[in-house]
Structure 1
Amino acid sequence: MSEHTIRNKAIVERLVDEVLNGGNLDLIDQLYTPELSPGARAWIAPFRASFPDVQMEIVELIAEGNTVVGRFTCTATHTGTWHGHPPTGHRFNKIDEVNLYRFHNGLINETWTLEDNLERLTQLGLLPTD
């Protein structure tokens, strides 16, 4: 595995451990390109405000060249407004997520995410029953 590939995986690990789980939003500007960091902050900050106890678990990271693909599970308690939904106090557990990160000059410059939001909404009790 090349030095760049190892570095890129370490950046994703820092993103999960220190930003998503740890709440260190100041680190976003050190992990993302200047063009992408405002967008990253725009989704991470409100998500953490809605789910401050969020815990992302890295299930697997696969890296090749300038790309890292991660499989994660996400667990948290809904204590703040999320997408217009007032806090339920309910917890979602081990929601599957897959993220693809592309890097340029040692920073994340592109992301693509697939999340099981149907299961997340179901566990939070936010889906209509009829």
Structure 2
Amino acid sequence: MTTEITELVRRDPEEVWTEGNLDVIEEIYAEEFVLHDPAAPDEPRGRDDYRDYVERYRKAFPDVEYEIEDVIAEGETAALRYTARGTHEGEFAGIEPTGDRVSVSGMEMYRVEDGTITEMWTSYDALGLFQELDVIPSLEELGEDSDG
């Protein structure tokens, strides 16, 4: 069972995000799926909301590629650690395209029931991403500006 869950959750970053195959959402996500993302103003609920969520990010970073670092599964739960890389070519969070290549690390926790993903919690280094997009100064930049 653990292997099946591991293979299932890997399909999200590999097929949905990296390959851009949004039809996979219908296969691997439950109809009543809920996404918990602190960066999303409203919790996406259901496959259509998740498809919209993915499309927004992929418009901003159309060449996004996910590298899976680790996947651990136990029971009906799986945790996944990744690094995503892409070029900022579309509006993102009100930020006009910069053309910058960015890299962001993150983690996701999935709950699986009856062979589909029913719930996901996601957390990624949003601060680091905004620093790479020059929206927020890095600690190094802040240190250079200080007098002591």
TM (norm. structure 2) is 0.80
Greater mean deviation of Cα atoms: 117-126 or 34-43: 34-43
The answer to whether 1:90 aligns with 2:100 is yes
- CA distance in 2 between counterparts of 1:74 and 1:17 reads 11
* Structure number with larger C-alpha Rg: 2
Paired residue for 1:30, among 27, 30, 36? Answer: 27
Structure 1 letter corresponding to 2:121: W
* Partner of residue 122, structure 1: 131
- CA distance in 2 between counterparts of 1:44 and 1:23 reads 9
The offset of 1:96, in angstroms, is 1.4
Counting matched residue pairs gives 126
* Partner of residue 14, structure 2: 17
Structure 2: gaps (5+ residues):
34-46, 143-148
Structure 1: gaps (5+ residues):
none
Q: Percent identity?
A: 37
Matches within 5 A, 1:1-130: 4-36=1-33, 37-93=47-103, 95-127=104-136
TM (norm. structure 1) is 0.90
Query: In the alignment, is the contact (CA less than 8 A) between 1:90 and 1:125 conserved in 2?
Result: no
Structure 2 letter corresponding to 1:70: L
- CA distance in 2 between counterparts of 1:74 and 1:111 reads 17
